[in-house]
Amino acid sequence: MGLTHGGEMFAEGGWSAIKIRLEACGWSAHQIELFHIHLRQGWPLAMAARQVALATGLCPLRSRPMG
């Protein structure tokens, strides 16, 4: 992980691309911030999605398995 071309990079790609995918799937701004926190801590995207859904009690209707 680190910074590349002004954006954070994670195993699943750059943060800006991940954020766009999350928005398109219907995740809220608050949930997306929780994703960002988990990814910064080294969580895989699929595990972060599960944790965010559990923590907020919400999962977007258009969500699909992440990862």
- Tens of pLDDT, residue by residue over 16-55, are 999 999 999 999 999 999 999 999 999 999 999 999 999 9
Phi/psi at 63 (5° precision): -70, 150
Q: How confident is the model at residue 5 (pLDDT cuts 50, 70, 90)?
A: very low
Q: How confident is the model at residue 67 (pLDDT cuts 50, 70, 90)?
A: low
Q: Is residue 26 part of a domain?
A: yes
pLDDT value at 63 more than 70: no
Per-residue tokens: 20: 């766009």
Residue matched to tokens 């809220």 = 28
Q: How confident is the model at residue 59 (pLDDT cuts 50, 70, 90)?
A: confident
Q: Is residue 65 part of a domain?
A: no
Q: Is residue 41 part of a domain?
A: yes
Q: What's the domain count of the chain?
A: 1
